[in-house]
Amino acid sequence: MSVKLGVPSKGRLMDKTFDWFGARGVRLGRAGSEREYAGRVEGIDNLELVLLSAGEIPRELAAGRIHLGVTGTDLVREKLGRWQQRVEEIAGLGFGHADLVLAVPRAWVDVSTLDDLDAAAAAFRAAHGFRLRIATKYHRLVRDFLRDAGVADYRLVDSQGATEGTVKNETAEAIADITSTGDTLRANHLKLLDDGLILRSQATLFRTRAVALEGADRDTMVELLKQLGVD
């Protein structure tokens, strides 16, 4: 056995994760070519790097198939019910910052708060005969947020990409999506609601609660967390 660390398999998130570990003396990298999803580790023994889609890391952690994993807090909360009982947050890594927000057309000058959104949704439903549609891929997080806020007469429509375009395309009236700077929202004539911040997310190192490590593996985990300065 060995301790398995899951890391996003591509893009900035992978590069920055490699940098973060590298700065702490744990050098991670891809084995072989750019296209190969096998990892290599230097600077500590008995640690295995597993390259995965960031979206699959929460599930793999919850199942205990990887022991540590780097992914966004948004993905863990969206994909895992009772996430605190299934994974442990070890450290925020200080990058991959993104906020999950509710946004509506900027032309909706009458809608600035959730209170307004709720009232506009009621009027919209009466006028159009169907519920105001909110496009998102974060169904659980958005639904829980709106339920807590007591917003009614909306429905979520699934959007796995180009979510900001759904309003213009008339497949949704509002959106809930990840934004880091808000530029994409502005470019698509959308605005944030004053109280529409659903979640602040960043790349985070998680540990599974599904399996207890023993022997050499447990020693590796202790040593690793010490070396990373997060023990």
Partner 1 sequence: MADPAATRAEAMRLRGLFEAEGATPVETTILQPAEVLLDLYGEDIRARAYVTSDALRGEQMLRPDFTVPVVQMHMAEGAEPACYAYAGEVFRRQEDDPDRANEYFQAGFEVFDRENPAAADARVFALFHRVLAPLKLRAATGDIGILMAAVDGLRTTERRRAALRRHIWRPRRFRALIERYSGRAPVPESRAALLASADPMADAGPVIGLRSEAEIRARIEVLREDAAAPPISADEVALLDAILAVRETCPYALERLRDIAVDMPLIAPAVDRLGQRLDALAGQGIDIDALEFEASYGRTQMEYYDGFVFGFYADGRPDLPPVASGGRYDALTRQLGGGREIPAVGGVIRPGMVLELASRAGAGR
Minimal distance in Å, beta carbon 162 to partner 1? 14
Short-list 81, 99, 102, 106, CA closest to 149: 102
> In the range 127-156, which residues lie near partner 1 by CB under 8 A?
127-128, 131-132, 139-140, 143-144, 146-156
What does the H/E/C string look like for 179-210? ECCCHHHHHCCEEEEEEEEEEEECEEEEEECC
From the list 7-15, 41-49, 163-171, 196-204, the region that binds partner 1 by CB under 8 A is 163-171
Q: Is 82 in the site for partner 1 (CB under 8 A)?
A: yes
- Please give the structure tokens belonging to residue 230: 């997060």
**How many whole angstroms separate alpha carbon 52 and alpha carbon 42?**
19
Q: Is 170 in the site for partner 1 (CB under 8 A)?
A: yes
Q: Is 200 in the site for partner 1 (CB under 8 A)?
A: no
**How many whole angstroms separate alpha carbon 156 and alpha carbon 158?**
6
> In the range 93-132, which residues lie near partner 1 by CB under 8 A?
105-110, 112-113, 115-116, 118-120, 122-124, 127-128, 131-132
- Termini Cα distance of the chain: 22
Query: Is the separation of the CB atoms in 17 and 28 below 8 Å?
Result: yes
Q: Which is nearer to partner 1, 150 or 215 (CB)?
A: 150
- The residues of the shown chain that bind partner 1, judged by CB under 8 A, are 81-82, 105-110, 112-113, 115-116, 118-120, 122-124, 127-128, 131-132, 139-140, 143-144, 146-156, 167-168, 170, 172-173, 189, 194
